[in-house]
Amino acid sequence: MSNLAYHTPVLLNECIEHLNIIPNGVYVDLTFGGGGHSKAILSKLNNEGKLFAFDQDADAIKNEINDKRLTLIPQNFRFIKNYLKLHSVKEVDGILGDLGVSSHQFDSAERGFSIRFDSLLDMRMNQKSELTAEKIVNEYSEENLVKIFKEYGEINNSKKVAALICKAREEKAIKTTGDLKAVTQTCYPKFEEHKFLAKLFQALRIEVNQEMEALKECLNDCVKLLKKKGRLVVISYHSLEDRLVKNVIKTGNTEGVEERDVIYGSTKKIFKSLSSKPILPSSSEIENNSRARSAKLRVGEKL
């Protein structure tokens, strides 16, 4: 499989431009995937430059680029600080993250990410992980399910969805995406099936992969790892991710709490935002890659 077939990199030119790459610099690609962004970063580096890339998906690791300047780390990006420390890296010139699910993960029916296929309820990005969507749907309490659907899927009738799931699983386990669709088919208005299921699957996927916790840990470490004038360039695909990225660039932390200078009482700025409004894909990019539709790029420069 070509790397492009695995995953088409979103906002590629905009990302590389805003990383403002120094040829002998040290960079991090948080989400290697098909290697599209990494390849573009490597093309701007000289022999002294270094790129560290992370991906917890074994399928993505198969796309490794044969380049001595690249170190591909088969781990979740939440461990960025520890693994860079292992490689004696204390600070970097730029960090790029293309969050969300790769085209390959969506297109692999057996992975259970897509509403298009009837497959086992899996949704694990790290296939060694024990928590699956099937386990959540069949074992989480009704209260917990309501919380997940509300917080991670922003589903208005979360209580009804959770109640139906809990009632159905008493009779038989909900094992496939088809089972889940059948159980929840009375939860959405006519013609809104796709929108509802997209939210439901998103909520389960985020919980399976602990995406919000991982992103918070990673972004807070990125703040510490970036050098002065270092760039943080992140593409997000839903409002929950975007809020965390926006908070970090605005306040230097994912909670969005502004630090005040002890002596002067003024707000302590960590980043200069280089994208007051998020940078969006062009209509032609969306036409060529429908998954770019919900992408938002934000850029911060460390002060």
Write the DSSP assignment of 224-292 as a string of letters.
HHEEEEEEEEEEESSHHHHHHHHHHHHHSSTT-PPPB-TTT--B---EEES-SS-B---HHHHHH-GGG
- Give the pLDDT score at 172: 97
**In the prediction, which pLDDT does 7 show?**
66
Which strand (E) or helix (H) includes residue 176? none
Selection from 75, 298, 96, 290 nearest residue 198 by Cα: 290
Cβ neighbors of 171 (< 8 A, separation 6 or more) are none
Do β-strands 226-236 and 296-302 pair in parallel, antiparallel, or remain unpaired?
antiparallel
Residue 35 has pLDDT above 80, yes or no: yes
Give the whole-angstrom CA distance, residue 60 versus residue 102: 9
Using pLDDT thresholds of 50, 70 and 90, give the confidence band for residue 264: low
Distance CA 135, CA 112 (A): 13
Higher pLDDT, 4 or 290: 290
pLDDT of residue 281: 95
Phi-psi region of 123 (alpha: psi -120 to 50; beta: other; left: phi over 0): left
pLDDT value at position 117? 72
pLDDT band at 265 (very low <50, low <70, confident <90, very high): low
| Mean pLDDT for the chain overall | 92
Query: pLDDT of 188-213, one tens digit each?
Result: 988 899 999 999 999 999 999 999 99
> 3-class DSSP state for residue 212?
helix
> Residue 157 gets which letter from DSSP?
T
Contact by Cβ (8 Å): 174, 168? yes
Both tokens of residue 206?
A: 């985020």
Average pLDDT of the residues in 262-285: 87
Full set of structural domains in the chain with CATH: 3-103+211-302 (3.40.50.150), 130-208 (1.10.150.170)
Closest CA to 177 of 108, 119, 105, 109: 119
Residue 284 CA to residue 48 CA, distance in Å, equals 36
Residue 1: its pLDDT value, please? 42
Amino acid 103: pLDDT: 58
Distance of alpha carbon 34 from the chain centroid = 14
* DSSP 8-state class, residue 64: -
66-114 pLDDT, tens digit per residue, is: 999 999 999 999 999 999 999 999 999 999 999 976 555 655 556 766 7
36/38 Cα distance (integer angstroms): 5
- What percentage of the chain reaches a pLDDT higher than 90? 79
Distance CA 162, CA 150 (A): 10
Give the residues across from 54 on adjacent strands.
73
| Better pLDDT: 44 or 260 | 44
| Residue 2 pLDDT | 44
At 110 the pLDDT is 63
Closest CA relative to residue 94, chosen from 216, 221, 225, 219: 225
Residues 271 and 264 sit within 8 Å (Cβ to Cβ): no
Q: What is the pLDDT of residue 107?
A: 57
